[in-house]
Amino acid sequence: MQIDVTYGLGDTVYTLVKRNKVVACSTCSSTGKVTISGEEFPCPKCQGRVSSTQELVAEAGTVQKVVATKCSQACKVQYMILRSGRPVQVNSTNVYATKVLAEAAIPVG
């Protein structure tokens, strides 16, 4: 039996990763303070707390291992990818050949 895989050992691939993104306060520019008539006050909007949101970003990795599982009807392929110094196992449907392709897969909105 032959199982075809898209990427081989040592190939550079891209996956989507959730990362925290700091959201700047529009009132105080994330300083936590506002100045009124020369006096400083805690920002009424953020009270000096930093807020963040999660976003998906494309990140490069190197294929370290290919795992193929044969089921009754189909074959499931997963890749062990070394990403930022850590091994991560990813389904083949979530692995992209280029950063552009990975970024195109990020849902809008």
For 64-72, the CB contacts below 8 A with 24+ separation are: 64/9, 65/9, 66/5, 66/7, 66/8, 66/9, 68/3, 68/5, 70/1, 70/3
Residue 58: the pLDDT is 95
Instruction: Give this prediction's pTM.
Output: 0.71
Domain extent listing, the chain:
12-104
- Percentage with pLDDT > 70 across the chain: 97
Residue 1: the pLDDT is 63
The owner of tokens 């990763």 is 17
Question: Can you tell me the mean pLDDT for 17-35?
Answer: 89
pLDDT digits (tens, 9 = 90+) for 46-71: 888 888 888 999 999 999 999 888 77
Averaged confidence pLDDT in the chain: 89
